[in-house]
Amino acid sequence: MSTRSFDLAFDGIAIATEILHRRPARIAAAVAALDPDRLLVLTDDRVLDACGGALLPLLRELCPVLVLSGPDGEGLKSLGHLSACLEQALAWGATRRSVVVGFGGGVVGNLAGLAAALLFRGLRLVQVPTSLLAMHDSVLSLKQAVNSAAGKNLIGTYYVPERILIDTGFLDSLPLREWRSGMAEAVKNALAVRPAMLPRLKEMLTPALDLSPADRHWLLETCLDAKCEVMAADRCEKKAAIVLEYGHTVGHAVELAAARHAAVGAISHGEAVGLGMLAAARVAASRCGLPAADADLHRDLLARMGAPLELPPALASADVMALVARDNKRGYIRPGDGAAAMVLLEGIGKVAGDPALPLLPVDLSLIERCLRPPPAAAGIRARADEAVDVFMITDGRRGFGPAAIASVLGQSYRGPIDLWLIEDGGDNARPWCEALTLPAHVRLRHRRLDAAGTHPLVRVSRLRNRATGLGTAPLIAFIDDDNLWEPGHLASLARSLRRSGAAAAHSWRRLIDGRGRPVVPRRFPWRHPDDPMAAGLLDACRRTGIFSERDAVVRDRVSAPCDGEDFGMVDMGEWLLRRSLFECFRFAEDYTADERAAMVGEDDKLLRHLRANGIATVCTGRATLRYRLGGFSNAWT
């Protein structure tokens, strides 16, 4: 992709901008042209590790550099962190000739912009965005802000950068989730501002989001041009350019509420805006007559890239609505008590109300009803034909893999199934894929992922996290390469979801040996026979009814209290999970020494999450997983 230099011009402002590809030396040269005596580089720890080595040595050749970093995420956008940065800069010797460099995503760009505006009542600002979202959206906004206890982006000002230097090479290290975040904002531009983007944008919206250099270039230029167009006479985004806030009234509330709720986990800005757009579309369908096809298009575009389509079950509507009521657009109009101002659409690319100030009052009660889709749309009662992503992680060297695949292909469930064969580093499983006869409703996907150099427990968690990001189906299931599913496994799980309205369903399992023969548990299989805890665990499982001395069935439970402890356990191969649940739960990739010694697996951590958040689950009461002993977690069997 060639270098392009131009001015981003709107409302009497022209910002010198360059789009580059893997040219950090050009960034340093552009900074050098400002003749700074010192450089204050604001960044975050992830960007510093992934991208700092390419740029910082070049900047240090120009003049002294102070790097101000911290853990990535919304936590950086606080008055406390901002104040600490300002004090460090002043103590270090910053002067009026110094330059502030925002080196990171949207959070860092906001922080750097506000720091530049405040130091000496205004230092020169250079934005070097490293995320897709920052490159095509946030760096162009003059709004610089941090969060407060009352809400998001409530403390700030407007400030114009001297330079915007975009190097798409930094996107090479961007996590897939952040790609989705940036693409969600691009979807917003297409829906609310520039519908002409839609045909080409749709082609880019895939689970992997593997954009070519040409696609990256087109996306950046198109989104920046669309934003300049709506800001042509509204640099501060207080009038017509408020259309850029589409999806943000609910989106900001979801993002901040999730960040404050440890059990929910962080939701990226773009993911939150996507959820906000879905809510806005439901509001608009009720309030403004948005056609159903246009509302469905919102969901389709987000689903294409695997973005979350429902709020995390653990996120309370009341927490979100408390923040919606304090949204930062208060005061532009007078919505009245019990209402909030929202940007709504009456059609794709057509704002509802006055285009000069596209805000409408909406009752908070209606917004709350629209936070989550109605049961029929949300799939709360799963349809028999709902698509399922089935993930099998393998090293390709076990002899049982083809049989595991065959058990998936033999399912009586007739909804669409994508079977993802995820190979850990090697290419040994490729022969399994050859000469297979696939049913019409099943697709086989083979991918190689690498989690080399990590503890086995961490490897499995990391591979599950990366693998599930590849699919888009609303339901997710897992099968290990040495286990088998009975033909009715998926069908019974889907039926239980449909009848119960739960977020996840699990089966029971039947223990088998290497030859497929039933094994009645005479000891606890997941502890070494010499482990002093093995006998106590066996006794607990028998007393809670999980084990029986009469058969090989493990009657797994989410919760099984016994003597003040919870002995609940469910294997990953027994679950059918809604993608929306998994999107708000990431398998923990950090394990303590005690957890490693006790072989606390990712399935155990999932159970803890479900119990801690009161998430509804259901059990089929059928042993449809044939669980082979002697694998990773019980090699001594």
Quickly list DSSP for 51-96: HHHHHHHHHHTTS-EEEE---SSGGGSSHHHHHHHHHHHHHHT--T
Q: Which two tokens stand for residue 61?
A: 């050749």
Beta strands in 230-371 (DSSP E): 339-342, 345-347, 350-351, 360-363
- What ranges make up the beta strands (E) of 163-223? 163-167
The question of whether 239 is a catalytic residue gets the answer no
Q: CA 515 from chain center: how many Å?
A: 41
Measured distance CA(628)–CA(398) in Å, rounded: 12
User: Residue 302: CB partners within 8 Å, gap ≥ 6?
Assistant: 184, 187, 274, 277, 278, 308, 309
Q: Which of 162, 185, 237, 245 is catalytic?
A: 245
Q: How many CB atoms lie within 10 A of CB 198?
A: 16
Euclidean distance between CA atoms 98 and 110, whole angstroms:
18
Q: Examine the residue annotation and report whether 245 is marked as an active-site residue of this protein.
A: yes
Report d(CA 247, CA 302) in Å as an integer: 13
Measured between its terminal Cα atoms, the distance across the chain in Å is 56
Half-sphere exposure for 288 (CA within 13 Å, toward CB): 25
CB contact at 8 A, 494 and 384:
yes
Longest dimension (CA), the chain: 82
Those residues with Cβ within 8 angstroms of residue 476's Cβ, 6 or more apart along the chain or in another chain: 388, 389, 391, 468, 575, 576, 577, 578, 579, 582
User: Nearest 5°: CA angle at 343, between 342 and 349?
Assistant: 165
CB burial readout 113-128, b (16+ within 10 A) else e: bbbbbbbeeebbbbbb
Whole-angstrom Cα distance, residue 192 to residue 240? 12
Alpha helices, H only, 98-197: 106-118, 132-136, 176-192
List the structure tokens of 98.
């110094």
Among candidate residues 96, 98, 114, the one with its CA nearest the CA of residue 39: 98
* Active-site annotation holder among 143, 221, 346, 595: 143
Residue 276 contacts residue 184 (beta carbons within 8 Å):
no
Residue pair 480/392 in contact (Cβ under 8 Å)? The answer is yes
Active-site residues, by number, are 143, 245
